Amino acid sequence: MKRIGVFVCHCGINIAGTVDVQRVVDALSSYPGVVHAQDYIFVCSEPGQALIRETIKSKQLDSVVVAACSASLHEGTFRGVAKDAGLNPYQCEMANIREQCSWVHQEEKGLATQKAVRIVRSIVEAVRLNKDLQPIRVPVTRRAVVIGGGIAGIQAALDIADAGHEVLLVEKNPSIGGRMIQLSETFPTLDCSQCILTPKMVAVSRHPKIKVLTYHEVVDMSGYVGNFKVKLLKKPRYVKEGTCNLCNKCLDVCPVVVPSEFDAGLAWRKAIYLPFPQAVPSVYTLDERVCLGLDPLRCGKCSEVCAPKAIDYNMREEVFEVEAGAVVVATGFDLYPMSKLGEYGGEKYEDVISGLEFERILSASGPTKGQVRRPSDGKEPKEVVFIQCAGSRDPENHKPYCSKICCMYTAKHAMLYKHRVHDGNAHVFYIDVRTPGKDFEEFYQRAVEEDRVNYVRGKVSKVFKQGDKIVVWGADTLSGKKVEVKADLVVLALPLVPAAGAEELFKKLRLSTNKHGFLQEAHPKLRPVEHPNSGFYLAGVAQGPKDIPEAVAQASGAASKVAALFSGVELLREPTIAEVVDELCDGCAFCVDPCPVQAITLVEYIRDGELKKTVKVNEALCMGCGVCMATCPKKGIAVRNFTTDRFLSMVDAMLTD
Amino acid sequence: MRVDLSSDEIRSSLVAEIEELCGQDVLKCYQCGRCSAGCPIVEEMDLLPNQVSRLIQLGLEQEVLNSKTVWLCVSCFMCQSRCPQGVDLPTLMDSLRYLATKRGYDRFGPNEIDRETIMRAPQQGVVSAYRKLSS
Amino acid sequence: MEIPYYPGCTLKVKATALEQSTVAAFAALNVSLKELPRWTCCGAVYPLMGTRIAGLAAPIRILREAKLMGSDTMVTACAFCFNVLKRANRDIAADPLCKRRINAYLADDVRVDEATNEKIMQWPEYAGEDDVKVLHLLELLRDRVGFGKLSAAVKKPLRGLRVAPYYGCTLLRPKEIALDDPEQPVIMHDLLRSLGAEPVDFPFLNECCASFLSLAKPETALRPSYQIVSSAEAEGAQVLAVTCPLCYYNMESRQSEIREQYPDFKGMPVFYFTELLALALGVSLDQAIGWKDHTVEVRGLLESVGLRDRDK
């Protein structure tokens, strides 16, 4: 006979304001198996925990039911208390009489109390059938895979490696650097972006513990925290790293010219190319999608002029698997397509450009060498209009969220424009100016006061071409006037959206996102760098729009979580997973296919001269979801401490008056 | 004269009346001004369309029902189609004309249209003008 | 193909050019537009507020007629009517209470059987979009005839005539009833191309022409029309193609008034798109063009692109 203790929490007035806790205690005191029942104002507090600990000892309790809030909040707390008092922690269960009772029945106190009694009784029945369980110990592979080689991925890789662990930095483009390498100067310091990023890129390439895998993609993953198997695809560059000496001769002869991704389509590159001078690794890449044919019969010119013989058309895709203990996802962002903004011309007008295109124009290493010129005729624009919220904060037509960085980078763009074109006019059409970071407000005021940028409060309705000008229709809501600007150049602050390909990748890795495709956090306030799936950590805009300081901070945070994961000798996993009941399982294998993590396999063996079929559960993979139990007609498989009989007795207890 | 935001005037009846008349929640408007920026008739208006919305939000009935603006709206729906919050301004304008008529405010009536124009214009123009201006 | 057709009051009196060319053009395409036997004005504007029973009764009654004809589609040539009918159709389908009310209201209607002269007061319930779909002529051409087939039926291609397609408001807004993308529509561009004309894209193609303001405040209403036609001009168009009689009135019939207020206004010929359609399909000049409605001289232009009657 078990000796069960019941502790009913008031949770201040959260529970006690609706549920009559004294009546619950009284009802449970006389319940079979319960040898102690009492209430307390905040059981999760130190004195509350001490109370449970002492009572376990003084009343020789062998199991405990804490009737309080949700197990997702304090199950760990109370199991820890039980363990301290010498019990197996799995002999402690929580009965939720708050979220599932007092909080949702605030108008019906009498009925709420009755329901609370039933809930607690059912958990007493559950605990009665609980067995002692020991956590499953698994080894940890102390290697991290970082997906994405932008500033967030680079920072995470450096921090994990500095903590002494191996890192594979996987980047789908030919070079690391992400978006930050495309920027000219960064707010609020106006630091040259490439100057502050390239040292980190070099550091990453030189770090003995980091392997930089560019032009690679993650194609699949299996396993669980501490023990992942990651399948990587190495895309063929057709140029041998280490052999290529960047002599550039292939550039002169390649006949294919395509828009350059690095220059946001404002300049050209060849089929064989180096994305930018400071690329890491420093090797050319041949883009087979646009190359004439990778074949000396079709072209072959680059190979002919390559003195070190670095070009090899016979390279092929390679797929290989690596083991890792943790994955940091830092896949970054793209801009919302301008073609969706028909009122701003869609993509019709050459002189209506995105913020990223303007960065390339401002950049000293860009298509105009940092001189401000407009794409259509190369003239220096004298009237530039910056349109903020071009798609953001628009639940009706585009994206409902604020993209966070545009107010700041628009102020920066306007300032940099004024620094270079002294007699030019910069107009910024805004709804609000959001400057929440350190030194941000002062930066924006500098744009207005020192650089005389004209801020007009009103969202632009339409933009259209008239002659060689772009006419902008806006309104100044503060003075109540409709306004118009005949601009030479218009720059749109487009919404940030998750990077292309991220959606498919997240589906493959089974990583949940919010409805806009940004990765979900384990808790929006308290666990911002972890994904709810164990072993996955988040860094950068993949989790939501943010600026560089925040991306770096988040990356370091993710790295510290990885280091913590790798710090123990082994990992402990929850033992409440599926277990086969050998006597009952007849190997019908109904449970094999429905298992979402493919943890069940059919096995056959000879026993007593007969062929016995049964199933085997991979304890490393099983998540304890219980689908197998639901499909089994024989009660041959059950999740530990969540058996069918236990559920049935819980239900009986709930339905008994 | 200061508008007393704490008095019963503010957000008392006008917002609720509008919501009842046409189901529009005027408080959704965050005053971005896009409606005013794209309105084809705005140059003729005394109050900007976003100002009309703001005055309703503040419950300043007299000022908004006295304006010429509500009588100039032609329900072209350009504002509504670009509004980031989907506020239906044409419907708001219809409701304001209705209230202005009911409460005896000065207004432009269909009787002011001259006979020659009525004979010359397409009937759809006559019918729509009469209906919209005699709310 | 036979399809119920709702002309609307304006087409019968002030916009005969639109109706005449429509009927002729579709006859040339073997599409028989069967005018509804009983119809009234649709109300011209969609009732936006209140319980709207009176305002919805007219359009729903018209749609019910189409249902009585046994069809699940009805086509209209007037852009204003299209807007009212399609909105009424959607709202009644979406709001069960409204549907009950309107049907109850219209149950008291009476019709007379032509054959027996009997008064009939039995009416089918009208449920909205699921019963009859409202199509505009442009949709009919794109979806039921097909621009490919249309191209093949063209007898007198418009020889690269530079036409600015003006869509206006009522076909594109609100977006729930739009027959194309409200900011970057292409349906009329595609139609013109299949007729051999060169569509000229211009930024004011979906801006409002000032609608009925030209009756209420005639001087005020000139500016939008001036801007629209000037914009088409600036992009190199020779003519403006419109879909709506009120747009036609504002931008064609009032061109002399526009010139008075804006002396730099050049002006250009304006056609209903159906006039161009009829011409291209080989309909005779007198059937295709509503001569009396054109205040701006068009004969010269038509001759310059080789469109003249063989008989003349």
CATH number at residue C75: 1.20.1050.140
Are C22 and C90 members of one domain? Answer: yes
- Say yes or no to pLDDT of C310 above 60: no
The rounded distance, in Å, linking the Cα atoms of C139 and C152 is 18
Please list every residue in chain A whose beta carbon sits closer than 8 Å to the beta carbon of residue B33: 431, 457-459, 474-477
Residue B76 lies in a domain: yes
pLDDT of residue C306: 77
pLDDT of residue A357: 97
Number of residues in chain C: 312
Are C124 and C155 members of one domain? Answer: no
Residue A244 φ then ψ, to 5°: -60, 130
Comparing CA positions, the residue from C67, C74, C54 lying closest to residue C125 is C67
Alpha helices in B30-122 (DSSP H): 34-38, 49-57, 61-65, 69-72, 78-82, 89-102, 115-120
Are C232 and C261 members of one domain? Answer: yes
Say whether C207 sits in a helix, a strand or coil: coil
* Contact partners, residue C305, CB within 8 Å, separation at least 6: C158, C159, C160, C161
pLDDT (average), residues C126-147? 95
The rounded distance, in Å, linking the Cα atoms of B97 and B93 is 6
Are C127 and C167 members of one domain? Answer: no
- Say yes or no to pLDDT of B87 above 50: yes
Lowest mean pLDDT among A171-175, A596-600, C149-153: A596-600
Query: Are B32 and A474 in contact (CB < 8 Å)?
Result: no
First-residue to last-residue Cα distance in chain B: 32
C54 touches chain B (CB under 8 A): no
Query: Are B127 and C43 in contact (CB < 8 Å)?
Result: yes
Distance from CA of C30 to the nearest CA of B (A): 29
Q: Judge residue C1's burial from the number of C-beta atoms within 10 Å of its C-beta, 0-12 exposed, 13-18 middle, 19 or more buried.
A: exposed
Average pLDDT value for chain C: 93
Range of the domain at B95: 13-108
* Contact partners, residue A389, CB within 8 Å, separation at least 6: A402, A406, A430, A431, A459, A493, B32, B84
Say whether A413 sits in a helix, a strand or coil: helix
B72 touches chain A (CB under 8 A): no
A107 touches chain B (CB under 8 A): no
* Confidence band, pLDDT 50/70/90 cuts, at residue A569: confident
pLDDT of residue B12: 62
Q: What percent of chain A has pLDDT over 90?
A: 91
Structure tokens at A130: 């609980």
Element (H or E) spanning A318, and its range? strand A318-324
Are C174 and C281 members of one domain? Answer: yes
The rounded distance, in Å, linking the Cα atoms of A400 and A277 is 38
Residue B7 lies in a domain: no
Please list every residue in chain A whose beta carbon sits closer than 8 Å to the beta carbon of residue B38: 343, 461-462, 473
Query: Are A480 and B48 in contact (CB < 8 Å)?
Result: yes
pLDDT of residue C72: 93
Structure tokens at A550: 């925040």
Are C251 and C225 members of one domain? Answer: yes
- Say yes or no to pLDDT of A430 above 70: yes
Using CA coordinates, name the residue in chain A closest to B42: A482
Structure tokens at A285: 């890449």
pLDDT of residue C300: 86
The rounded distance, in Å, linking the Cα atoms of A529 and A536 is 9
Give the number of other CB atoms < 10 A from CB of residue A146: 35
The rounded distance, in Å, linking the Cα atoms of C58 and C44 is 10
pLDDT of residue B135: 66
Query: Are C181 and A467 in contact (CB < 8 Å)?
Result: no
Structure tokens at A485: 């600007």
Give the number of other CB atoms < 10 A from CB of residue A619: 14
C55-73 per-residue burial string, b: 16 or more CB within 10 A, e: under 16: bbbbbbbbbbbbbbeebee
Residue B46 lies in a domain: yes
Comparing CA positions, the residue from B126, B45, B39 lying closest to residue B77 is B39
Q: Which residue has the tokens 């852009």?
A: C79
pLDDT (average), residues C234-239? 95
* Contact partners, residue A455, CB within 8 Å, separation at least 6: A427, A428, A430, A433, A448
Residue C141 lies in a domain: no
Are C218 and C95 members of one domain? Answer: no
The rounded distance, in Å, linking the Cα atoms of A530 and A572 is 18
Q: Judge residue A376's burial from the number of C-beta atoms within 10 Å of its C-beta, 0-12 exposed, 13-18 middle, 19 or more buried.
A: middle
**In contact, B30 and B85? CB cutoff 8 Å:** yes
The rounded distance, in Å, linking the Cα atoms of A332 and A546 is 10
The rounded distance, in Å, linking the Cα atoms of C177 and C174 is 6
Query: Are C234 and A467 in contact (CB < 8 Å)?
Result: yes
Distance from CA of B1 to the nearest CA of C (A): 33
* Confidence band, pLDDT 50/70/90 cuts, at residue B7: low
The full set of domains in chain A, from first to last, is 4-135 (3.40.50), 143-235+317-332+499-567 (3.50.50.60), 249-305 (no CATH), 334-497 (3.50.50.60), 578-639 (3.30.70.20)
Query: Are A466 and C182 in contact (CB < 8 Å)?
Result: no
Alpha helices in C175-292 (DSSP H): 187-194, 213-216, 222-234, 245-248, 255-261, 273-280, 285-288
Are C32 and C154 members of one domain? Answer: no
Alpha helices in chain C (DSSP H): 9-13, 16-28, 53-68, 79-94, 96-106, 137-139, 147-153, 187-194, 213-216, 222-234, 245-248, 255-261, 273-280, 285-288, 299-304
pLDDT (average), residues C196-215? 95
Indicate the residue of C181, C182, C203 with minimum beta-carbon distance to A464.
C203
Q: Final residue of a domain: which of C84, C107, C134?
A: C134
CA distances from A373 to A370, A423, A493, A584, C29 (A): 9, 14, 19, 78, 53
Higher pLDDT, A445 or B60: A445
Comparing CA positions, the residue from C288, C245, C242 lying closest to residue C24 is C288
Are C167 and C276 members of one domain? Answer: yes
8-state DSSP, B33: -
Range of the domain at C278: 146-304
Are C162 and C294 members of one domain? Answer: yes
pLDDT of residue B11: 60
Over the stretch A122-170, which tens digit does the pLDDT of each residue have?
Answer: 999 999 999 999 999 989 999 999 999 999 999 999 999 999 999 999 9
Residue B122 lies in a domain: no
Name which of A344, A351, A460, A464 to mutate to probe chain C: the one with the most chain C Cβ atoms within 10 A of its Cβ: A464
Say whether A95 sits in a helix, a strand or coil: strand
Residue C311 lies in a domain: no
Higher pLDDT, B15 or A265: A265
Residue B24 lies in a domain: yes
- Say yes or no to pLDDT of C49 above 80: yes
pLDDT of residue A608: 86
Using CA coordinates, name the residue in chain C closest to B119: C14
The number of distinct structural domains making up chain C is 2
First-residue to last-residue Cα distance in chain A: 23
Lowest mean pLDDT among A99-113, A280-294, B97-111: B97-111
- Say yes or no to pLDDT of C127 above 60: yes
The rounded distance, in Å, linking the Cα atoms of A546 and A574 is 35
pLDDT (average), residues A610-639? 91
Please list every residue in chain A whose beta carbon sits closer than 8 Å to the beta carbon of residue C184: 342, 346
Average pLDDT value for chain A: 95
Residue C241 lies in a domain: yes
Name which of A482, A484, A485 to mutate to probe chain B: the one with the most chain B Cβ atoms within 10 A of its Cβ: A482
pLDDT of residue C115: 87
pLDDT (average), residues B98-102? 89
Higher pLDDT, A1 or B7: A1
Residue A231 φ then ψ, to 5°: -95, 125
Structure tokens at B2: 């200061």
Please list every residue in chain B whose beta carbon sits closer than 8 Å to the beta carbon of residue C175: 81
Residue B35 lies in a domain: yes
Using CA coordinates, name the residue in chain A closest to C227: A466
Specify the CATH number for the domain of residue C161.
3.40.50.11810
- Say yes or no to pLDDT of C312 above 50: no
Pairing of the two strands A272-273 and C162-165: unpaired
C9 touches chain B (CB under 8 A): yes
pLDDT (average), residues B28-36? 95
Indicate the residue of C43, C212, C217 with minimum beta-carbon distance to B125.
C212
B68 touches chain C (CB under 8 A): no
